[in-house]
Structure 1
Amino acid sequence: MADQHDPHSGLHSERGALAGEHPGRAANPVIKVHDLAWLEFEKPDLARAEVFARAFGFTTTLSTGHELHLRGTDPGAPCVLVREGARSKFRGPAFRAAAPGDVLRLADATGRKVTGLPGTLGGVSVDLPDPSGLRVRVVSGTDELAALPPQDPQVLNFGHEVGRVNAAQRPPRAPARVQRLGHVVLQTTKYRQTLDWYLQHLGLIVSDFLFHPRRRGRGPVMSFIRCDRGATPADHHTLALLLGPANRYVHSAYQVADLDALAAGGEYLRERGYHHSWGIGRHIEGSQLFDYWRDPDGFMVEHYSDGDLFDNTLEPGWAPMTASGLAQWGPPATADFLGVKPGKASLRELRAVFSALREDNEFDAQRFLGLLKVARS
């Protein structure tokens, strides 16, 4: 009986699907994307955004006063594109196609046009609206930035396995150098429709489903979704979708070298007065070490390290969604992270609840009650 109540037992495949539940993948997707390419935002103050980005661990590749490109140390495209706008807004994700012809194949299947990207990026794109109305880009042929010198992980002594002798451990209190973009989490009022759209159009596959406690029969309310690279392992989730009262960005995550980089980088941010949301801890779904911050525009961003990698043979896990089940260890999830901290953001979410309950979508009264139970669990 203990295993039924312990969120740290049976963390993945031991809790598989029941007969008739969602399979977590499309039988014949249009294409299979390889990874996230970048995320796009609008912000009114690009100078302020760049100061935070450098403290968080990004490197600037373009800064014009009207546009800002931010990258990690890994080779490839920038991680984040920020354009000047009247107010802060998430514009959408861009996914990298696995093969050059996939952009044309997706455009043909959806009746969309292939367009050239700006010279600062290179390559081509097809832009699609997902069922929530978010613009989703699939890109190919973009310019490849060369790798930058990485932040080396610390040499550790593991019990009796000694790797460091006659040397003290002194991780620098400096920005954690972002290596790459890992994932983005989105909330949608049309969860099942949006989930199926990403699986069908982009060939993504589900790693884990979450359902409201004692409401599994109504289906999942969150999914952690990875790229299908066949036998090549991919991040546990590149995209996560959550049913909620509004269509919005939740957070994005960026990989760093190790726990010391994450922790020392967090101290660097804290000393400069930036807002810490939650951490440090280790998640259950995905297993990664995490630390969450908010940028000056209120967007939540995550440093993470040591995440799970799955190939395409692993079937989805199923688990109840609880606040206490978000981490294997670490401090309890904060009101800020859960979106219930008193303030403007929670008031907007409350107004969204009343609006969503009046509209025709998947967020009904029972889902609202289930979400309240999650926040209290």
Structure 2
Amino acid sequence: MSSPWIEGLRSVALFVPDLARAEAFYTQTWHLAVAHRGDDVLYLRGTGDDDYLLALHQGGDAPQVRQVTLRARSREALDALCESAVAAGGTLLAAPHALTRDPAGGIGMKFKDPHGRVFQVVHGDARREADAPMADMPIRLTHAVLNSHAVDDTKAFFERAMGFRLADRTGIMAFMNCNRDHHTLAIGITDNDALNHIAFLMPDFESVMRGGGRMKDAGHPIQWGPGRHGPGNNLFNYFIDPFGVVIEYTAEVEQVDDSYVSRGPEHWKWPPGRIDQWGIAPMPGPELKAAQRQVLFAPA
């Protein structure tokens, strides 16, 4: 299962109200490292080969999503995406051009979907030599979940514009696949178009758990977890950052190929009181559910 154009998720860019506070949290508590600094922007990396995976821009009073950046399989894919995004009902914001202001460089294009979500797609961006996996430090982004008030329309756009395929669908989410990871983007089925959460891949189960303890010690309790999801089979601990952005530590994401059979909500049903495979974590509380609805995309 793979997109002909999209290789995977590279990074997410956010506007945050306090860049210094964001740096302190994401380096000292979340355990990312500073990759680059710019005027009112900070770029953070994990241990993997992505030059950076989180860009934090100084913004207004509330956090917003600036863009979600995906990586293209080829330079030619960028031209194909210009056509497919528009044909699917999106708006082209920037044709392929040299990303001279991005520290990772490369060639990029940008578009907006019909509901205002902004995607950048890059090719030829810088890769760093990956570090050996470090316990308790994220490697890369594994997925981003974006809410939709019109899930079927959003699903169709992801398929037509970017070549994603439906991996699985539950009563609350549609999981979209572009590579070996079970899902790279997912669509939260709700009544708004906010960022649901960003998932950071950890090396192993131990790191997901130790990260949960470290976050709790720092005053950021686990909002949901520990547990193991159904679709994707991944481990999880969910948290809320200082500004209200929902972030996840995850590991052991299911790897799939063309033999994987997509299943619907009738398959992904849990017994009463259970919401994951293990059934030991309490149901997500109102604080997490509210946070999963509040971070919107900035107008493009």
Query: Which TM class, normalised by the smaller chain length?
Result: 0.7 to 0.9
Distance in 1, Cα, partners of 2:75 & 2:259: 25
- Contact 1:58–1:72 under 8 Å retained in 2: yes
- Contact 2:141–2:199 under 8 Å retained in 1: yes
- Contact 1:180–1:254 under 8 Å retained in 2: yes
Q: Which residue of 1 aligns with 2:152?
A: 192
Structure having the higher Rg: 1
Amino acid in structure 2 at the alignment position of 1:240: A
Q: Which residue of 1 aligns with 2:14?
A: 41
Q: Which residue of 1 aligns with 2:67?
A: 92
Distance in 2, Cα, partners of 1:222 & 1:265: 26
- Contact 1:122–1:141 under 8 Å retained in 2: yes
Residue 285 (structure 2) aligned to one of 335, 341, 350 = 335
- Contact 1:38–1:77 under 8 Å retained in 2: no
Question: What TM-score do you get using the length of structure 1 for normalisation?
Answer: 0.69
Tell me if 1:281 matches 2:281: no
- Contact 1:236–1:308 under 8 Å retained in 2: yes
How far 1:339 moved relative to its partner? 1.2
Question: What TM-score do you get using the length of structure 2 for normalisation?
Answer: 0.86
**Between the two proteins, what is the percent identity of the paired residues?**
26
Amino acid in structure 2 at the alignment position of 1:83: H
- Contact 1:278–1:337 under 8 Å retained in 2: no
Amino acid in structure 2 at the alignment position of 1:114: P
- Contact 1:256–1:304 under 8 Å retained in 2: yes
Q: Secondary structure at the match of 1:291?
A: strand
Q: Secondary structure at the match of 2:154?
A: helix
Map 1:63-212 → 2, pairs under 5 A: 63-64=37-38, 66-86=40-60, 87-110=62-85, 112=92, 113-117=95-99, 118-151=101-134, 176-211=136-171
How far 1:226 moved relative to its partner? 1.2
Structure 1 unaligned regions, length at least 5: 1-24, 153-175, 212-220, 229-233, 350-377
Question: In the superposition, relative to structure 1, how do residues 283 and 346 fare at CA in structure 2: closer, same or farther (>3 Å)?
Answer: closer
- Pick the structure with more helix per residue: 1
Question: In the superposition, relative to structure 1, how do residues 207 and 348 fare at CA in structure 2: closer, same or farther (>3 Å)?
Answer: closer
Question: In the superposition, relative to structure 1, how do residues 297 and 263 fare at CA in structure 2: closer, same or farther (>3 Å)?
Answer: same
Residue 214 (structure 2) aligned to one of 235, 260, 268 = 268
Distance in 1, Cα, partners of 2:292 & 2:253: 30
Q: Secondary structure at the match of 1:328?
A: coil
Distance in 2, Cα, partners of 1:107 & 1:186: 21
Tell me if 1:256 matches 2:202: yes
Bigger shift: residues 316-325 or 100-109: 316-325
- Contact 1:34–1:98 under 8 Å retained in 2: yes
Distance in 1, Cα, partners of 2:54 & 2:207: 20
How far 1:243 moved relative to its partner? 2.2
Q: Which residue of 1 aligns with 2:187?
A: 241
- Contact 1:286–1:307 under 8 Å retained in 2: yes
Equivalent residues, number: 281
Question: In the superposition, relative to structure 1, how do residues 107 and 347 fare at CA in structure 2: closer, same or farther (>3 Å)?
Answer: closer
